[in-house]
A and B are shown apart, each in its own frame.
Chain A
Amino acid sequence: MIYVKDLHKSFGKLEVLRGVSEHIEQGECVVVIGPSGSGKSTFLRCLNLLETPTSGEILFDGVSMTDPKTDINKMRQKMGMVFQHFNLFPNMTILKNITLAPVRTKLMSEAEAKQEAMTLLERVGLADKANAYPAQLSGGQKQRIAIVRSLAMHPEVILFDEPTSALDPEMVGEVLDVMRKLAEDGLTMVVVTHEMGFAREVGDRILFMEDGVIVEENTPAEFFAAPQSERARSFLAKVL
């Protein structure tokens, strides 16, 4: 579904990605792990062009994301993103946060979007917060809303950029539960995370990144039991 070919990204002199090639298939949950500064987030943000790659190509549903002629807004509608800091819109109610994009992109009518939003809010157990403002919610609630906001666009894939890193420990579980359910429902997901438990249980595939390249690609079972690369071994020794 997403083909990445020899992706490079530099910020000034700093080369963050130095040739990443990857294929993400329909319905799989790919977990990207690695030490900080390894380029995981940059890789994720290049996928929906929040960062413009320096070179390389990204094909999403057969369309080149990096081609200047591509309607990037149309492509992004099919590619949701969940951020570390939630990035809910503080000036709108929860309901408006969720319905804004589907209505403005003419994906749904106002009424349809509302109904869809309520159904999704019901699913994450936050229907009673529909008319609250983001400032009134806890971190875990905000992140669940952010996931719902993404889902409301009916994306083909959702990118998760360290979705639990900014949360208090007791709120991590509720967000991971929602993500686990999405993975079970067969949503294509690319998850950058430090939650090794989640990676092991939910991931279909682990990408271990370091210094801007994918060092190891493995199934979770094998990766955590017997990593092939020395660097993955020393990383796991530190985090587990």
Chain B
Amino acid sequence: MELYTTWKALITAGDPVTAWQKFYVYFYQAFVEADRWKQYIEGVGRTLYVTALALILGVILGVLVAVVRTAHDQQRPGHRNPILGVLNLIFKVYVTVIRGTPMMVQLLIMGFVIFSSSKNFALVGALTLGINSGAYQAEIIRGGLMAVDAGQNEAGRSLGLTYVDTMRFIIIPQAVKAILPALGNEFIVLLKDTSLISVIGGKELLYAARAVVSRTYEAMFPFLGTAVIYLVLVMLFTWLLGIFERRMRASDLR
């Protein structure tokens, strides 16, 4: 503390200081002074919370859209279900609009137009991110469902299983295994995209860093620190996905 004050005084006065002293001062100022580390921790908590909410929403939307669209495409001729047709059309528009507009624009529209009166920025952000991620996940999952050998579906149906049971027990488990790397990628993008919700006032990690920068007028350590935290989070995430992937591969044993 005393070191910080004396060295800080040196820097402000324009006196020569060593690189180490400078490092110490700026680091201290970015993370320790006024218990700023608490802001980062809070930011990380909020980031993880938003990610989790968006992830759940995204997966639900993604599976729903993918299954409905695949079911629609796989109907037998002469057995077209009109409800499925309408849903398919709605979901097609959803995927087109979401994939066709920038994430940032979607956030601004949700935050300042649709939910302009809401003060719960994190929730609005999570909602937007979930809706956005769902569209991408839907296409990944749909690809996985279509990649499962048609013979699997035929085998299931020829045993008298319903379409839903065949999907649930045979097709989806195999599709999930195949798309896990791509889905992992999407989850990582989602985790990092939570940093965008700071533009509508979501108090996540980057928001905390920017708050510190505007206090201290020093950008390097807050932003570098933010980058490191994101990197660690993503590495943790990747590790967890790796464990999950290995478990899914149990049936590959020879």
User: 17 pairs across A/B with beta carbons < 8 Å?
Assistant: A68-B79, A73-B160, A81-B155, A83-B151, A89-B169, A91-B251, A92-B251, A101-B159, A105-B159, A105-B160, A133-B250, A135-B251, A135-B254, A136-B253, A136-B254, A146-B155, A153-B160
Is B152's CB under 8 angstroms from A89's CB? yes
State the interface size on chain B (CB cutoff 8 A): 27
Assuming the A-B contacts A52-B78, A87-B152, A104-B169, are A135 and B158 also in contact, with contact meaning beta carbons closer than 8 angstroms in the complex?
no
Q: Are A76 and B160 in contact, with the CB atoms below 8 A?
A: yes
Taken together as a complex, chains A and B put the C-alpha atoms of A77 and B160 apart, in Å, by 4
Knowing A87-B151, A87-B152, A133-B253, the reply to whether A76 touches B173 (Cβ < 8 A) is no
Q: How many of chain A's residues have a CB under 8 angstroms from any CB in B?
A: 34
Question: Given the complex, which residues of A lie within 8 Å of B165, measured CB to CB?
Answer: 104
- The reply to whether A87 and B149 form a contact with Cβ atoms under 8 Å apart is yes
CB pair A80–B79 under 8 Å, yes or no, is no
Q: Could you say which residues of chain A place their CB within 8 Å of the CB of B77?
A: 52
Q: Is the interface of B mostly helix, strand, loop or mixed?
A: helix
Chain A residues, Cβ within 8 Å of B160 = 73-78, 101, 105, 153
**B-contacting residues, A85-144, CB 8 Å:** 85, 87-92, 100-101, 104-105, 133-136
Q: Which residue of A lies closest to B150 (CB)?
A: A87
In the complex, residue of chain A having the shortest beta-carbon distance to the beta carbon of B149: A87
A48 contacts B76, CB within 8 Å?
no
Bound-state CA distance A52–B173 (Å) is 27
Q: Choose from A90, A134, A150 the contact partner of B159 (Cβ within 8 Å).
A: A150
Q: Which residues of A contact B253 (CB under 8 A)?
A: 133, 135-136
Does B116 sit within 8 A of A, measured CB to CB?
A: no
Query: Which A residues lie at the B interface, using CB under 8 A?
Result: 48-50, 52, 68, 73-81, 83, 85, 87-92, 100-101, 104-105, 133-136, 146, 149-150, 153
CB pair B78–A76 under 8 Å, yes or no, is: no
Find the A residue at minimum CB distance from B172.
A91
- Report the Cα distance A133→B177, complex, angstroms: 16
State in angstroms the CA–CA spacing of A68 and B177 once bound together: 35
User: Nearest Cβ in chain A — how far from B20, in angstroms?
Assistant: 57
The CA of A85 and the CA of B254, in the complex, are separated in Å by 19
Inter-chain contact B78/A153, CB cutoff 8 Å = no
Complex interface: chain A residues within 8 A of B157 (CB): 50, 73, 76
Within the complex, the shortest CB–CB distance from A178 to chain B, in Å, comes to 18
Given A74-B160, A87-B154, A149-B159: 14 more A-B contacts, CB < 8 Å: A75-B160, A76-B158, A77-B159, A80-B159, A81-B158, A83-B151, A87-B155, A91-B177, A100-B159, A101-B159, A104-B169, A133-B252, A135-B252, A150-B159
Q: Is the CB of B170 within 8 A of A91?
A: yes
User: In residues 198-254 of chain B, which contact A (Cβ within 8 Å)?
Assistant: 250-254
Is there an interface contact between A50 and B158, defined as CB atoms closer than 8 Å? yes
Please measure, in the bound complex, the distance between the C-alpha atom of A135 and the C-alpha atom of B251, giving whole angstroms: 7
With beta carbons under 8 angstroms apart, the residue of B78, B154, B162, B177 that contacts A83 is B154
Q: In the complex, how many angstroms separate the beta carbon of A45 from the nearest chain B beta carbon?
A: 8
Cα of A79 to Cα of B174 in the assembled complex, Å = 25
The one of A50, A68, A79, A80 that contacts B154, using a Cβ cutoff of 8 Å: A50
Q: Measured between alpha carbons, how far is A192 from B157 in the docked complex, in Å? A: 20
Q: Quick one: closest B residue to A74, CB to CB?
A: B160
Looking across the interface, which residue of chain A has its beta carbon closest to that of B76? Answer: A52
